[in-house]
Chain A
Amino acid sequence: MDAVNIKDLVFSYDEQHDTIKGISFVIPKGSYTTIIGHNGSGKSTIAKLMIGLLEAKSGTIEILGQKLDESTVYSIRDHVGIVFQNPDNQFIGSTVADDIAFGLENHCVPQEKMQAIIEESAAKVNMINYLDSEPTKLSGGQKQRVAIAGILAIEPEIIIFDESTSMLDPQGKKSINEQIKKLHEKKNVTIISITHDMEEVAQSEHVIVLKDGKVAMSGKPMEIFDKEEALHEMKLDIPFALKFSKELKKEGIFDKNECTLEGVVEALCQLKQMN
């Protein structure tokens, strides 16, 4: 059973121009997939379709083996969490604890169990000291971490990040990316991240590249980054670490390319040991 199985999905906002023009892909359970594409390629629309916020014109979406339709949308949402782009517009409670509780209340978790779950989820995203803080007192990165905690609280099997780091400063971005990585390594959750951030793409296992509402490419990050020309055509770039390692390879210092910063650092350290 796959986490997500999308077949021939078509969607349009205005009945005339299709935003999604027949997309099919499969995301295996427990994997970490990034979806990239230029503005208007339909990547955020895909996220909204996957949790039933938008209704497809044709095609099917299966989440954890369950076909998404009007009757299953609420039970599917029990298993799928989504972190949106704007940190302010998804903060519903008046404090961190209230906001984490919102999802629990919706899922009818008994009141006496809530406090423990809230504390546990806040601790996972390092927000345990902010339980009584108001959203206006938090930074963008902290608000996004609260949003993640709110989702972890309901223990979904799939977590979608819809450009969750695009409104954050570099520090906030880094902390969220680390959080995502940690989630993927420690828990058995399927992670689907829609992103602009190539550093994040490098840390994922699988990449789907969208172009004009269609899947243009898909594969492992390295396979995608190899097609640098095609990426440039879609106004996408390769990560800085990869650019750096390519230059070093050209000079004959590296014998293979690395696309993550950690990989580059490790390769450099090995070089030092060899010399």
Chain B
Amino acid sequence: MNNIALGRYIPFDSVVNRMDPRAKIMIMLFLMIAIFVPAGIWGYILIAAFIILALKLSKLSLGFALRSVKPMIFMMVILLVINILVIKTGVPWLQIGWFSVYSDAVYQTLYIVVRLMLMIIITTILTATTKPLDLTLGIEKLLHPFEKVGLPAHIIAMMISIALRFIPTLIEETQRIMNAQASRGVDLENGSLKEKVMAVLSLIVPLFVSAFDRADQLANAMEARGYDPQKPRTRYKVLSMHSIDYIGLILSVLILVCCISIQVLGLA
């Protein structure tokens, strides 16, 4: 459980860690859009190159990035199976009785898998190099213009920051409940599907009960310390953009522009 990489902040002292969260969020958004532009292999190579650069600069290992994709492997396999069964175009690669595998099925799955992987890795780099509170502050500042139309940006930001703050705590809790239930004879690994579902239930129910209990106590603590969502607050952290932030932004916009031009010019 402890090696879950998704959504966890890694306190390294790197260039990327020190970047302005607003810039990092915008870079992530630009890259996300770029991923969805069907720019073929060159587009993805560009994005992947940017990601590798970002990983280098943030002192994160490639292994760490790949680990973050691990939880998605199951979904990807299901996707592959469905695609193989449904997509029957392209070159037939394999034919055993009624069962056949066509090239398009594999290509399309690969296409989606690559997109998913890139997206997850980008998000992981963002969350691994940005403290939850900075991230929230960034989101809040970026959403600030929308407060005029009634969007409660600071409340959304506070909710996200608390959710992020409690991820490690809840993971620890899950581990503790798993151990407690295992010591009482609950087997989470073996048995039929029905037994497994029941075993997971014995994990989920206490986890939810404790999460609600925590939420209640946290709300009390916040209120007792004078938090009122309707009142103005000052901020401890002030954001400031530096040259590295502008360079990152320009690079990501360039990648986006490249991907769009590849698509528009039909080079893909």
Contact = CB atoms under 8 A, between A and B. Distances in A.
Contacts of A91: 165
A136 interface: yes
Contacts of B161: 94
Interface string B155-170: 0000001101100110
Contacts of A111: 234-236, 238
Given A90-B218, A92-B218, A134-B11, A105 B224 contact: no
A150 B225 contact: yes
B102 interface: no
Interface in B47-90: none
Contact of A107 (B11, B165, B226): B226
A258 B203 CA distance: 50
A108 B234 contact: yes
Contacts of A154: 225-226
B114 interface: no
B209 to A, nearest CB: 14
A97 B226 contact: no
B236 A114 contact: yes
B214 A103 contact: no
A11 B226 CA distance: 23
Nearest to A48: B220
A102 B165 CA distance: 14
A98 interface: yes
A134 B134 CA distance: 14
A53 interface: yes
B228 A88 contact: no
B9 A92 contact: no
A74 B226 contact: yes
Contacts of A84: 217, 220-221, 224
Contact of B172 (A74, A98, A105, A136): A136
B168 A136 contact: yes
Given A106-B226, A106-B228, A94 B9 contact: yes
A132 B11 contact: yes
A123 B3 CA distance: 34
B132 interface: yes
A131 to B, nearest CB: 12
Contact of B236 (A82, A105, A151): A105
Contacts of A151: 225
A75 B236 CA distance: 22
B221 A92 contact: yes
A98 B237 CA distance: 8
Interface string A73-93: 010011011101010111111
B28 interface: no
B217 A108 contact: no
A127 interface: no
Contacts of B222: 92, 102
Residue of A81, A89, A91, A107 ringed by the most chain B CB atoms within 10 A: A89
A104 B169 contact: no
A214 to B, nearest CB: 24
B233 to A, nearest CB: 5
A94 B238 contact: no
A207 B266 CA distance: 82
Contact of B227 (A106, A109, A114, A118): A106
A51 interface: yes
A95 interface: yes
B131 interface: yes
B225 A106 contact: yes
Contact of B165 (A53, A78, A94, A104): A94
Contacts of A80: 224
A95 B217 contact: no
B133 interface: yes
B234 A88 contact: no
15 contacts: A53-B224, A84-B221, A89-B221, A91-B165, A95-B133, A98-B237, A101-B236, A101-B237, A106-B228, A106-B233, A108-B234, A118-B236, A134-B9, A136-B169, A150-B225
Given A77-B226, A101-B236, A110-B234, 11 more contacts: A77-B225, A81-B225, A86-B214, A92-B225, A95-B133, A102-B227, A103-B226, A106-B226, A108-B232, A136-B169, A154-B226
Interface of A: 48, 51, 53, 74, 77-78, 80-82, 84, 86, 88-95, 97-98, 101-111, 114, 118, 132, 134-136, 150-151, 154
Closest 3 CB pairs of A and B: A101-B236, A90-B221, A106-B226
